[in-house]
């Protein structure tokens, strides 16, 4: 046992002496230079093998993304529900769902005997008004000459003004149901009226058929103008502070992911819904014919569009919950070889978009002079770690 202990002591002593001797020899001969812990060197052969490429910090417009869902919609002024102002029976209708419609095109023809009565009342009132106007003017002239009494003149004026009001009201009612009172004569009184489309577009729904009676509150057809489609997006409360008017959106239909389209936010809701969401509205750019109101879409809101310092994604290393880049430090000769020195620097990552990542650099970083390792950075990191493990 004593012999074994003595042998172990001798081996340990020899190992220590060997290391000290090696270290002293290196310091004396200068064959090996001790590098700082954040620096790694490579000779030309290693440089080529590692596939290292150098580049510079770039100024890029990078966008962070917020993914949301929504539907295709139209603004209220581009969706029209057409009703019969006075009601009646549908005499004719020649539209079906999807039919194209032009402004002022006949949608339907409605019959009702009340239309006849209304036209009759208007013509009778118009005739009485003409007589009342003549009588009023006559009494006015007589009153000026003190021939008649003031009471007679006032009664004539009251009759004229009353009939004038009645005729004007009847004229407006006829206008509402599509009859031009100024062209109305006894011989063209009709029991039917035409319903015209106020906008161009296509028929969304048809709710009637020939012979059906419709009330003033019943919708005959709905017409959509799909030339100005919008997106109605649903954004959660926690994300709404990232959304502003003017931001760009890219969106797809779930069943057509290859057909990417764009839009711009024009309105952000001001009230919170019961499910803790807020509605955001966007105008669609260069609309595709396949896009129809009511379709569901998946959208990406670009929430940041500023110039920032950026590098290709592969230039930034992640190691032990921190991020680093390598910069070229120096090139020099060691014996008969040329070596390149690289320095590792800690940075912070920001937005990543289209292959580039925002980098937040140290305050004293020289943007103009620094040459960044944009390819082969992980090979440098491996060499740096191995160099540390090889210490005696």
Query: Does residue 282 or residue 335 have the better pLDDT?
Result: 282
pLDDT higher than threshold 90 for residue 22: no
Query: Cα(340)–Cα(383) distance, rounded to whole angstroms?
Result: 13
pLDDT at 29: 40
**pLDDT for 211-268, tens place per residue?**
999 999 999 999 998 878 899 999 999 888 888 898 889 999 888 888 888 999 999 9
pTM of the model: 0.56
Mean pLDDT computed over every residue of the chain: 84
Among 320, 332, 311, smallest CA distance to 384 is for 320
Q: Which tokens in the block code for residue 272?
A: 């919170």
**pLDDT for 38-58, tens place per residue?**
899 888 888 888 899 999 988
pLDDT higher than threshold 50 for residue 12: no
**pLDDT for 75-116, tens place per residue?**
888 899 999 888 899 999 988 988 999 999 999 999 999 999
Q: Which tokens in the block code for residue 183?
A: 């062209």
Among 337, 261, 278, smallest CA distance to 42 is for 337
Query: Cα(340)–Cα(45) distance, rounded to whole angstroms?
Result: 11
pLDDT at 392: 31
**pLDDT for 256-304, tens place per residue?**
888 888 999 999 998 889 999 999 999 998 877 778 888 999 999 887 6
Q: What percent of the chain is modeled with pLDDT above 90?
A: 45
Task: Name 20's Cβ contacts closer than 8 Å, sequence gap at least 6.
Answer: none
**pLDDT for 107-137, tens place per residue?**
999 999 999 999 999 999 999 999 999 999 9
Among 329, 308, 327, 307, smallest CA distance to 316 is for 327
pLDDT at 304: 67
3-state secondary structure the chain: CHHHHHHHHHHHHHHHHHHHHHHHHHHHHCCCCCCCCCEEEEEHHHHHHCCCEEECCEEEEECCEEEEEEEEEECHHHEEEEECCCCEEEEEECCCCCCEECCCCEEEEEECHHHHHHHHHHHHHHHHHHHHHHHHHHHHHHHHCCCCCHHHHHHHHHHHHHHHHHHHHHHHHHHHCCCCHHHCCHHHCCCEEEEECCCCEEEEEECCCCCCEECCCCEEEEEECCCCEEEEEEEEHHHHHHCCCCCEEEEEECCEEEEEEEEEEEEECCCCCCCCEEEEEEEECCCCCCCCCCCEEEEEEECCCEEEEEEEHHHCEEECCEEEEEEEEEEEEECCEEEEEEEEEEEEEEEEECCEEEEECCCCCCCCCCCEEEECHHHHHHHHHHHHHCCC
Q: What are phi and psi of 13, to 5 degrees?
A: -65, -45
Among 44, 144, 60, 86, smallest CA distance to 356 is for 60
């Amino acid at each position: 046992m004593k012999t074994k202990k003595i042998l172990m002591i001798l081996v340990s002593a020899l190992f220590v002496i060997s290391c000290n001797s090696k270290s002293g020899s290196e310091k004396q001969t200068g064959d090996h230079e001790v590098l700082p812990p954040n620096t790694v060197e490579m000779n030309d052969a290693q440089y080529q093998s590692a596939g290292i490429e150098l580049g510079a910090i770039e100024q890029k417009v990078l966008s962070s993304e917020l993914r949301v869902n929504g539907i295709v919609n139209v603004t209220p002024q581009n969706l029209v529900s057409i009703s019969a102002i006075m009601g009646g029976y549908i005499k004719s209708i020649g539209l079906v769902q999807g039919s194209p419609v032009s402004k002022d095109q006949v949608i339907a023809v409605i019959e009702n005997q009340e239309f006849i009565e209304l036209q009759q009342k208007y013509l009778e009132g118009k005739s009485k008004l003409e007589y009342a106007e003549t009588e009023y003017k006559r009494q006015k002239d007589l009153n000026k000459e003190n021939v008649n009494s003031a009471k007679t003149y006032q009664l004539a004026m009251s009759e004229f003004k009353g009939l004038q009001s009645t005729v004007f009201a009847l004229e407006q009612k006829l206008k509402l149901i599509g009859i031009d009172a100024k062209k109305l004569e006894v011989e063209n009184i009709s029991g039917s009226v035409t319903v015209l489309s106020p906008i161009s577009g296509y028929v969304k729904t048809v709710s009637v058929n020939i012979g059906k009676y419709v009330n003033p509150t019943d919708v005959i057809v709905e017409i959509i103008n799909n030339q100005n489609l919008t997106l109605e997006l649903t954004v959660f409360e926690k994300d709404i502070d990232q959304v502003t008017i003017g931001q760009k959106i890219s969106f797809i239909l779930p069943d057509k992911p290859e057909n990417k389209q764009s839009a711009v936010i024009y309105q952000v809701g001001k009230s919170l819904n019961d499910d803790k969401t807020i509605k955001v509205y966007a105008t669609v750019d260069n609309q595709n014919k396949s896009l129809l109101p009511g379709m569901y879409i998946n959208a990406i809101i670009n929430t940041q569009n500023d110039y920032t310092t950026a590098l290709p994604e592969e230039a930034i290393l992640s190691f032990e919950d921190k991020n680093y880049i390598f910069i070229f430090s120096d090139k020099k000769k060691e014996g008969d070889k040329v070596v390149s020195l690289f320095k590792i620097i800690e940075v912070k990552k920001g937005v990543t978009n289209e292959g580039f990542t925002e980098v937040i650099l140290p305050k004293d970083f020289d943007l103009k002079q620094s040459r960044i390792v944009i390819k082969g950075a992980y090979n440098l990191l491996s060499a740096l770690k191995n160099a540390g493990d090889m210490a005696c």
